């Protein structure tokens, strides 16, 4: 019997600006944000043939293993492709969980693409995006995995010409888990003061005064110690710093290889990209 192993490296994303515009009749919220991919990755390995299973290493993945998004992605495709064989799945988790970095969504989206490629299911990109949307609001982004202006629940995406490869990034995760539902409950929806779609195309030096994350005020009110993370990023020379998603990770954007002293709590995880 010939065994096949495929390994992919799901990457994280950051939010550049995030506005909760309105509450929708379906109970979700209308959002406005910019998603941008960064090269902090998990490692996802699939072995076939095998008996359907899921194991993980690295950061502990909470919840029942049978509820993992990678398994849900396999089951979703199995409904429409009954010939899809069972596989052994192993996830090495490196992207912090509950951080606003989309790690779980990335794992699910990369799983869909891996199965499509390995078993030649010939699923179009548009259909992959539809499958991804069924798994989570952030999942469709990772099918394209390029900078987008996103609305709706985050699944309506418009590509934008945003290239930040000339900069360095610092991600700081303070090991504080922010419950997304709780965070939304602290927000009073409303239209943004400025158009994010226009602001994001202005020089990066202007973002500090024009691009914001609606969740910061709520999170800072409950976790005031997180304010110092943003302050320290600016002290270290960041051109722009913000919380990502509903938190609790923060991102600082710096001139390439010009990062000053990063004075953070030793318990925090800091990634320089």
The residues annotated as belonging to the active site are 13, 138
Is residue 85 a known part of a binding site? no
Residues 80-85: contacts with CB under 8 Å, at least 24 apart: 81/119, 81/121, 84/115, 84/119, 84/121, 85/48, 85/49, 85/119
Asked whether 272 and 173 are in contact (CB, 8 A), the reply is no
Is residue 99 a known part of a binding site? yes
With a CB cutoff of 8 Å and minimum separation 6, the contacts of 248 are 98, 99, 100, 173, 174, 176, 177, 178, 219, 223, 226
Is residue 165 a known part of a binding site? no
Give the whole-angstrom CA distance, residue 22 versus residue 13. Answer: 23
Give the whole-angstrom CA distance, residue 100 versus residue 102. Answer: 6
Asked whether 48 and 231 are in contact (CB, 8 A), the reply is no
Is residue 195 a known part of a binding site? no
CB atoms within 10 A of CB 9: 14
Asked whether 43 and 103 are in contact (CB, 8 A), the reply is no
Residue in 132, 90, 45, 37 with CA at minimum distance from that of residue 123: 132
Q: What is the DSSP letter of 131?
A: H
Is residue 102 a known part of a binding site? yes
Is residue 25 a known part of a binding site? no
Is residue 190 a known part of a binding site? no
Is residue 100 a known part of a binding site? yes
Is residue 105 a known part of a binding site? yes
E strand or H helix at 64, and its extent? none
Is residue 136 a known part of a binding site? no
Is residue 152 a known part of a binding site? no
Give the whole-angstrom CA distance, residue 273 versus residue 264. Answer: 17
Known binding-site positions: 96-106
Known binding positions for ATP: 96-106
């Amino acid at each position: 019997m010939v065994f096949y192993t495929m390994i992919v490296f799901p990457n994280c994303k950051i939010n550049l600006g995030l506005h909760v515009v309105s509450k929708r009749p379906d109970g979700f919220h209308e959002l406005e944000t910019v998603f941008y991919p960064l090269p902090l990755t998990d490692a996802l390995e699939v072995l076939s043939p095998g008996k359907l299973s899921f194991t993980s290493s690295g950061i502990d993945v909470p919840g029942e293993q049978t509820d993992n998004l990678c398994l849900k992605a396999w089951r979703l495709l199995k409904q429409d492709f009954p010939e899809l064989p069972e596989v052994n799945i192993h996830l090495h988790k490196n992207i912090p969980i509950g951080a606003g970095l989309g790690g779980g969504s990335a794992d699910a989206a990369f799983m869909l693409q891996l199965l499509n490629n390995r078993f030649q299911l010939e699923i179009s990109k548009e259909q992959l995006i539809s499958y991804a949307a069924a798994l989570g609001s952030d999942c469709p982004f990772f099918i394209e995995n390029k900078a987008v202006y996103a609305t709706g629940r985050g699944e309506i995406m418009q590509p934008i010409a945003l290239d930040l490869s000339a900069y360095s990034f610092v991600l700081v995760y303070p090991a504080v888990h922010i419950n997304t539902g709780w965070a939304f409950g602290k927000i009073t929806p409303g239209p943004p003061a400025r158009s994010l779609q226009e602001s994001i195309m202005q020089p990066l030096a202007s973002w500090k005064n024009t691009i914001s994350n609606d969740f910061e005020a709520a999170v800072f009110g409950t976790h005031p110690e997180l304010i110092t993370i943003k302050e320290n990023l600016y002290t270290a020379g960041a051109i722009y710093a913000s919380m990502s998603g509903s938190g609790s990770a923060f991102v600082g954007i710096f001139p390439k290889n010009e990062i000053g002293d990063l004075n953070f709590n030793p318990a925090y995880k800091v990634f320089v990209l």
